[in-house]
A = this chain, B = another copy of it.
Amino acid sequence: MTRNNHTTADNRPSEPRADTHSDIASTGQSTANQDDVVTLAHGAGGEAMRSLVDTLAVSRFADGSSADTAGAVGLAALDDGSVHPLPGTDISIVLTTDSHIVTPPTFPGGDIGRLSVAGTVNDLAVMGVTDPLALTCGLVVEEGTPTAELDRFLESMRESAVEAGVDITTGDTKVMGAGELDGIVLNTTGVGTIPTSEVVTGAGLSPGDAIVLSGTVGDHGIALLAEREGFDFGANLESDVAPINGLVAAATDAGRVTAMTDPTRGGLATALNEMAEKAGVGLEIEEQAIPVDDAIASAGEVLGIDPLSVANEGKVVFGVHSDDADSVLAALREQPLGSNAAIIGQVISDHPGRVVLDTGFGNRYLSEPTGEALPRIC
């Protein structure tokens, strides 16, 4: 089979089309049948997915004995990874995993190989591990895939791993029949060590903290959808996929970072809601302060996709002690990947668990997408 047939011509009736989505609130599929079968909405990183994961996995696995160790972060935290303090030391092992599926596997600004390295390096980075120890590579590939294509993706992994300063040290390869898998599934698991006291979680926000965003949002999701749908916007729309562990190190060196997360599936809207919910605080976000590339914003309007609701693959949301917000912002802006960094809001004690968006014309709650805006873009 050919590798580039994943555009509007394909025949996947269950996949929501872009033109059905005019705003965040309507991007979800119905989840009425979520108790019976798994739907694409369950994989989208929003409410439907958290509900499924809560029901099936968290309640089941979260009572493991290691979760009781002081400093440990287990599954119940629903954080970007787990934290394992090593007995008798002040060191913790941090662990995170991500299976990468993206259509098309090569896209403007990157490919599945780069995505698989950046995605996992970034999950470690937002836990505080900016010098990761190793990545694993679990490759599942469709029979008939040209080896030259596989070679390109693995070379892209190598280049991105060098950029992030991490080694790929062990792996596994499986082949599925052409009728069983369309494309490639690439799992990477990352491991790192860190002084236990330096672990950062998504739950560390306190009222008064500044919310700092490392750059523009929406690039990955909207560039991918434009490519998939075959639109030509006359502008270079590119994914932002990049390892951001260096950027995170610059920020944490410059000031007191209280919480971090990377706004991937579900976008900035989901990331902010999760941070607010985990810390039991409110967030007050100024919509005009959120950096969005002009071409991405225009394309998003045509496609009916809100840049705040789609995945980014090279961005970080920081909670920063208010006294240090300016120094962290300055440090970020000195980095090539942080040149568009901005303070976008602050933590408040009102509206716990909610995100209040000041649109310039009034306030509204910023909801997270409940379902599937863009299947399989990360």
User: Which A residues form the contact surface with B (CB < 8 A)?
Assistant: 10-12, 14-15, 34-44, 49, 52-53, 55-57, 60-61, 64-67, 74-75, 79, 81-82, 84, 86, 89, 91, 93, 95-99, 101, 133-134, 136-147, 150-151, 154-155, 157-158, 161, 167-183, 185, 187, 189, 191, 193, 375-376
A358 to B30, CA, bound (A): 64
Q: Which of A11, A84, A177 gathers most chain B CB within 10 Å? A: A177
Partner among B10, B91, B187 whose Cβ is within 8 Å of the Cβ of A86: B91
A64 to B37, CA, bound (A): 43
**Do A145 and B38 have beta carbons less than 8 Å apart?**
yes
A168 to B168, CA, bound (A): 22
**Do A38 and B141 have beta carbons less than 8 Å apart?**
yes
Residues of B within 8 A of A189 (CB): 95, 97, 136, 138, 187, 189
Residues of B within 8 A of A57 (CB): 137, 154, 168, 171, 173
Residues of B within 8 A of A145 (CB): 37-38
**Do A60 and B154 have beta carbons less than 8 Å apart?**
yes
A144 to B101, CA, bound (A): 18
Q: List 23 A-B contacts (CB under 8 A).
A: A36-B146, A37-B144, A38-B142, A38-B144, A38-B150, A40-B175, A43-B174, A44-B175, A56-B147, A61-B154, A74-B167, A82-B169, A82-B170, A86-B91, A93-B93, A95-B136, A96-B170, A97-B189, A99-B138, A101-B176, A138-B189, A172-B187, A187-B189
Residues of B within 8 A of A56 (CB): 147, 150-151, 154
**Do A34 and B147 have beta carbons less than 8 Å apart?**
yes
**Do A171 and B36 have beta carbons less than 8 Å apart?**
no
A371 to B144, CA, bound (A): 15
CB-based closest 7 A-B pairs: A43-B175, A64-B167, A82-B169, A189-B189, A97-B136, A82-B170, A187-B187
Residues of B within 8 A of A66 (CB): 133-134, 167, 169
Known: A53-B173, A187-B187. A181 touches B178 (CB 8 A): no
Residues of B within 8 A of A41 (CB): 175
Q: Shortest CB–CB separation between residue A80 and chain B, in angstroms?
A: 8
**Do B174 and A376 have beta carbons less than 8 Å apart?**
yes
Number of copies: 2
Which of chain B's residues has its CB closest to A148's CB?
B36
A329 to B178, CA, bound (A): 45
Q: Can you add 5 more A-B contacts, CB < 8 Å, to A12-B177, A97-B136?
A: A34-B147, A38-B147, A75-B169, A82-B169, A138-B189
A56 to B151, CA, bound (A): 6
Known: A37-B144, A150-B38, A158-B60. A97 touches B137 (CB 8 A): yes
Residues of B within 8 A of A158 (CB): 60-61
Which of chain B's residues has its CB closest to A120's CB?
B172
Q: Chain A binding site: helix, strand, loop or mixed by DSSP?
A: mixed
Known: A143-B39, A143-B40. A176 touches B96 (CB 8 A): no
Q: Shortest CB–CB separation between residue A313 and chain B, in angstroms?
A: 15
Which of chain B's residues has its CB closest to A189's CB?
B189
**Do B60 and A174 have beta carbons less than 8 Å apart?**
no
A189 to B134, CA, bound (A): 12
**Do B173 and A52 have beta carbons less than 8 Å apart?**
yes
Q: Shortest CB–CB separation between residue A337 and chain B, in angstroms?
A: 23
Residues of B within 8 A of A134 (CB): 66, 82, 84, 93, 95
**Do A185 and B82 have beta carbons less than 8 Å apart?**
no
Which of chain B's residues has its CB closest to A192's CB?
B93
A95 to B66, CA, bound (A): 18
A204 to B95, CA, bound (A): 29
Which of chain B's residues has its CB closest to A141's CB?
B38
